[in-house]
Structures are given as structure tokens and as C-alpha cells.
């Protein structure tokens, strides 16, 4: 596995490690939320500038000049996992708070996570993404779906922590060789599974709150979902026992695109054998089951979180299934042609967009 070797930390404290690629829109809010964390330990912020073209580097340069706790290091442009490994190599402290460039931490986030790592067998503690009620519809649907899946996790222990909102023990990351730089989406699942296999625990804290700026608009949502689906296939190829998912991405979510793919194949088979009506009826029944399941989930989420955006689950999630089916076709085509996996096959950087003026 093309992972890199990491050195052990040099002092007590927390190093925030943030990969940055075209993050100028969010950095003016993200950076202050990191620097404001007060957990009674020294902190630093390691920003890995990974080839932005939107003015992110200038924002980071000003931040590092204004506050000695902020350090900008250059990335190699090889993907988020490689940027994380690079940032960890420059980190001073034994705890690595990995936060994405578009995640704003609420006060107390760090203070809520640090106690979990008092247990030396806990390798990572994840915070909780809460939905921004002012976000666009697609972003709220994404967040509400994730909140609903978080609620199904009983207790604190989990088998998957999401990078972007997690506090890691750097010695545990070093023990497994760090993040796999060949992966795009799914590198956080991969490192979670390897940490668990090495005997470590992973936990989730619902008291460590943050808000993620999810993709805005249907097209951006579909592009990201295509990446999630593609990355999931890369992941399952490495961890075959995870075909049915994990605590954050449970079996129903994993099998949704498989059912949709089966519906499409049955409809096509009906046409091929001269029985198009029968094929379409069976396909429609399968799609109807998917819509019904997502409709019920949407109603439950709308009532639980008091946000009517969840009622759009059937539309967005059927579109998500279609994006995952497209990813399955492309992934299979590349595999059959012998092309090696590359991070950009699933995870493409966000487009350049200037920071808002003030």
C-alpha cells in the first residue's frame, strides 16, 4: 500500500491539519473557528496548500504572518490523503485534529474530543456534523441524511470516523503507515478499518459540533455522489468484508444502487427477450420500493430534525443511486482495462471560486 512513514510528535498539544485546495470561500470562517478552540493545551494549525488557484495561498500567508500558531506548508497536488500525510509530517503535537477546509468548528469541539483519547486504545474520536438551516436544499439533504445515520449508532463506539471532523492519535496513524495516498473518497474509511484491525477503538462524540459546507446545487451534489460511489468500490476492493458498509454507511445505503442497477438490467432484459412490459413492471416495482424506503426515512428525518428539506430524500437519493450506478460502470470499465486506481478518479477538487468580499 503506498502509504508514507511518519515521525512521532515532539511535544504535548494538538496539531490541526487542514488540506486546502480552492478553499478561499470558507477559510475566513474556518481558520478563526480553529484558533478559538480552548481545551487547555497548546495548538497549532498546519495548512497544506495543495495547488489552489483561487487566492487560498494568499489568505493562508496572511494568517501565518498574523498568528505564529498558523503554518502553511506546500502540498504535492497528489490528492487529499497525500496532503494529510504531508501535514502530519510537519505536525509538532501528538494529537492530530483533521478538519476540512469547509468545516467550521463550534466552540468546545476540541475540549469535547480530547477526553476520549485519554484511553490509549482509542485511536480517533469524531465530532458531529450538524445541519445548517440556512444552507441550500442539496446541502441540507446531505447533512440531514448523515445526521439520521449518526443517530443509528448506539453509544460512542463506531467502526468508521470521517476525516474532516476528527481527532486522531498520531502514534496510531504511524503504527498503520498513515493514509493510503492511492485512494480518493474512501481513504477515511480505509484508515478507520486498518486502525480497527490493529486493535484500536474509534468513537464518536455528539458534543463536538461542527458545520460542513456541503456541495451546493443538484449537479455538484451528483458529482460528489459519483465520487463517493467510485471511492466505495476502490474501498471494497481492498476490504471485501465491507461490502455491506459500516456504521456510518449501513447496508440499506450500500444496496440501494445495486437494486437500481438490477432494475435497469431487468428492464433492458425484458426488451431483449421481447417482453418489455414485464421487464418494465418489475423494474418499476423495484424503484418503487427504493422510493418508499427513502420517503419513510425522509418523513422520520423531517419530524426528528424539524426540517422539511428531508422530504426531498426520495428525489435526491434516487439521483444518488443513479450516480453510484454510473460510477460502478466506469470503475468496472477501468478495472477490466487494467488501469490503476488514482485519487482523482473519485475525488476531484472543488472549482476555483474567489473568496467573498467584505
Q: Is residue 202 part of a domain?
A: yes
Look up residue 98 and give its DSSP letter: E
Contact between 287 and 318 under an 8 Å Cβ cutoff? The reply is: yes
Residue found under cell 447533512? 143
Residues 100, 33 share a domain: yes
Domain stop point among 181, 216, 251: 216
Residues 302, 263 share a domain: yes
Tell me what pLDDT residue 108 has: 97
Residues 247, 186 share a domain: no
Tell me what pLDDT residue 348 has: 80
Residues 121, 28 share a domain: yes
Phi then psi for residue 324, to 5 deg, are: -65, -35
Residues 192, 111 share a domain: yes
Residues 263, 207 share a domain: no
- CA angle, 89 as apex, 84 and 91 as ends, to 5°? 90
* Domain carrying residue 183: 14-216
Sign for the pseudo-dihedral over CA of 15, 21, 27, 30: negative
Characterize the bridge pairing of strands 95-99 and 165-169.
Answer: antiparallel
- Where helices occur in the chain by DSSP H, the ranges are 27-35, 56-66, 80-89, 109-113, 137-151, 170-176, 187-197, 218-238, 251-272, 276-305, 313-336
Task: Report CA-CA distances (Å) from 71 to 92, 311, 316.
Answer: 11, 43, 39
Q: How far apart are CA 95 and CA 117, in angstroms?
A: 9
Tell me what pLDDT residue 352 has: 64
- Domain with residue 125: its CATH number is 3.90.550.10
Residues 171, 22 share a domain: yes
Residues 175, 44 share a domain: yes
Residues 249, 207 share a domain: no
The predicted model scores a pTM of 0.92
Which grid cell is 204?
Answer: 464518536
Residues 187, 119 share a domain: yes
Task: Report CA-CA distances (Å) from 115 to 40, 95, 340.
Answer: 12, 12, 41
In the chain, the number of structural domains is 2
Tell me what pLDDT residue 163 has: 86
Residues 121, 176 share a domain: yes
Instruction: Report mean pLDDT in 10-residue bins for the chain, 358 residues.
Output: 44 91 96 96 97 93 97 94 96 97 97 95 97 96 96 94 94 97 95 97 97 93 96 94 93 94 96 95 97 98 97 98 97 93 85 56
Q: Is residue 145 part of a domain?
A: yes
Q: Is residue 259 part of a domain?
A: yes
Look up residue 156 and give its DSSP letter: S
Cα-to-chain-centroid distance, residue 210: 14
SS3 72: strand
Task: Tell which residue, 240, 155, 236, 245, has the closest CA to residue 202.
Answer: 155
Tell me what pLDDT residue 353 has: 65
Contact between 327 and 230 under an 8 Å Cβ cutoff? The reply is: yes
Q: How far apart are CA 213 and CA 230, in angstroms?
A: 21
Residues 208, 245 share a domain: no
Characterize the bridge pairing of strands 122-129 and 201-212.
Answer: parallel
SS3 70: strand
Contact between 18 and 88 under an 8 Å Cβ cutoff? The reply is: no
Tell me what pLDDT residue 349 has: 74
Amino acid at each position: 500500500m503506498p502509504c508514507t512513514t511518519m515521525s512521532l510528535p515532539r511535544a504535548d498539544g494538538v496539531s490541526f491539519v487542514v488540506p486546502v485546495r480552492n478553499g478561499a470561500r470558507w477559510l475566513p470562517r474556518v481558520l478563526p473557528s480553529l484558533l478559538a478552540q480552548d481545551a487547555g493545551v497548546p495548538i497549532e494549525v498546519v495548512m497544506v496548500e495543495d495547488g489552489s488557484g483561487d487566492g487560498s495561498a494568499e489568505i493562508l500567508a496572511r494568517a501565518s504572518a498574523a498568528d505564529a500558531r498558523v503554518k502553511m506548508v506546500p502540498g504535492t497536488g497528489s490528492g487529499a490523503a497525500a496532503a494529510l500525510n504531508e501535514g502530519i509530517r510537519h505536525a509538532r503535537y501528538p494529537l492530530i485534529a483533521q478538519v476540512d477546509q469547509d468545516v467550521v468548528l463550534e466552540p468546545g469541539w476540541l475540549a469535547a474530543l480530547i477526553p476520549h483519547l485519554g484511553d490509549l486504545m482509542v485511536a480517533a474520536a469524531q465530532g458531529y456534523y450538524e445541519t445548517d438551516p440556512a444552507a441550500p436544499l442539496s446541502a441540507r439533504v446531505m447533512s440531514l441524511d448523515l445526521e439520521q445515520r449518526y443517530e443509528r449508532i448506539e453509544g460512542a463506539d463506531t467502526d468508521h470516523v470521517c476525516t474532516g471532523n476528527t481527532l486522531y492519535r498520531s502514534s496510531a496513524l504511524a503504527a498503520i503507515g498513515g493514509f493510503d495516498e492511492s485512494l480518493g473518497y474512501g481513504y477515511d474509511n480505509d484508515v478507520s478499518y486498518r486502525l480497527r484491525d490493529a486493535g484500536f477503538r474509534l468513537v464518536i462524540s455528539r458534543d463536538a459540533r461542527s458545520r460542513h459546507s456541503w456541495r451546493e446545487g443538484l449537479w455538484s451534489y451528483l458529482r460528489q455522489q459519483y465520487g463517493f460511489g467510485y471511492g466505495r468500490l476502490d474501498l471494497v476492493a481492498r476490504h471485501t468484508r465491507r461490502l455491506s458498509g459500516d456504521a456510518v454507511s449501513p447496508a440499506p445505503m450500500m444496496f440501494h444502487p445495486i437494486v437500481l442497477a438490477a432494475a435497469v438490467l431487468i428492464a433492458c432484459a425484458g426488451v431483449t427477450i421481447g417482453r418489455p412490459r414485464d421487464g418494465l413492471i418489475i423494474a418499476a416495482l423495484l424503484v418503487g420500493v427504493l422510493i418508499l424506503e427513502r420517503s419513510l426515512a425522509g418523513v422520520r428525518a423531517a419530524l426528528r430534525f424539524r426540517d422539511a428539506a428531508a422530504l426531498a430524500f426520495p428525489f435526491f437519493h434516487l439521483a444518488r443511486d443513479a450516480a453510484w450506478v454510473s460510477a460502478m460502470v466506469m470503475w468496472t470499465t477501468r478495472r477490466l482495462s487494467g488501469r490503476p486506481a488514482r485519487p482523482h478518479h473519485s475525488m476531484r477538487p472543488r472549482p476555483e471560486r474567489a473568496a467573498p468580499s467584505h
